[in-house]
Amino acid sequence: MALIKLQYNKSLQQDTTTLYPDWKYFMINTNKNTPAFSRRTFLKTAGTAALTVSLGPLILNAKNKSGTKLPVLGKGEFSYTPHHGWGEVPDHVQWGETHGVCVDEEGLIYIKHRSKTKTPMDAIVVFDEKGKFVRSFGKEYHGGGHGIDIRKEGNEEFLYLSNVKGVVAKSTTKGEKVWSKGRPVETGLYDDPNTRYSPTNIAFAPDGGFYIADGYGSHYIHQYDVDAKHVRSWGGKGEEPGKMKTPHGLWLDDRPGREPSLIVADRANARMQYFTLDGKHLGFIQDVNFPADIDIQGEVLLVPDLHARVSLFDKENNVITHLGDDPVWTKNVLDGFKIRKDSSKWPVGKFIHPHDACFDKAGNIYVAEWVVTGRVTFMKKVS
């Protein structure tokens, strides 16, 4: 494991200092023999993908807009063609950094972005499966748009939204607010007004409650019950088990055959951490570089990694494939973060900074990237 210190960049002051306080340091896993966490057997009710992996990538005669054949990322059953710049963004929306993505039961895709325009614009844009614009909303989250997750409660689906300016909200899929929560004073951890609170993502508990990750603030996980009342908090900044540096994303691992547990993308510590549902540390996944968030389908764990790749893990949390992995390209991407501002330097088949990703019902993957102009990539599964 190597620790690399990057040069400070004034043009990225807000991102590297305010919203990403640990970003002047990046952990890169140089030990390919690090054992993966395999404490439990992982299954999932949603999806039935088998994990048979062949040795070579399949070739698909897919082409991009210029007519050039698209590359295939991955191998065997886990092969995908990348369609960059997916989604017909409407004229009234100017993409900022695309931070979050989720898919509802109908197959609609929700993208949350963070625009820096002076005039507030909708932070959430919804597309159909073909990339056609459906609707947009969320001007109240302008400039702070980050995590977005969806859960069905009774007969209705709801969005849970994280805003890095210190707000978590629940809304309908049309944008009607159910409730919003500000600084969690009830935890007792933020009595000092100088203590930062900047929530990044939310995970759902099996009892109807939820967990909030204070990823850009003070590195805590906050647990709430079904009535949105505080239950407990744990974590805080550190490297020892149970402590975190930028707990950026999190997810409930409730696959059949195992006790439900919470997995956290402990990003600046370059690891994933497992916790019991009441916050006791269980173990790690180490074969990540800078994990940003999590999704699960069938037995497959999906991890968008801000270091220019998207990782898939099997039921034992062994690596299936690192989509887009290229050490030389990654080094270029991390060199002062200049490439994230220049789309002319984005080759087809390469990621810049995957910030969130999720499966659809067919096993395709949508990837939202932390780049200045915003970018969504549709990873079509090769069948």
What residues does 43 pair with on adjacent strands? none
Number of domains the chain contains: 1
- Domain, as residue range, for 156: 2-381
- DSSP letters spanning 246-287: -EEEEEEE--TTS--EEEEEEGGGTEEEEE-TTS-EEEEE--
For residue range 135-181, what is the model confidence (pLDDT) as tens digits? 999 999 999 999 999 999 999 999 999 999 999 999 999 999 999 99
pLDDT for 255 equals 75
Average pLDDT over residues 185-213: 97
The CATH code of the domain that includes 42 is: 2.120.10.30
pLDDT for 383 equals 72
- 51, burial (CB in 10 Å: exposed 0-12, middle 13-18, buried 19+): middle
| Kind and range of the H or E run holding 101 | strand 97-103
% of the chain with per-residue pLDDT over 70:
83
Average pLDDT over residues 239-260: 92
Q: How many residues does the chain have?
A: 383
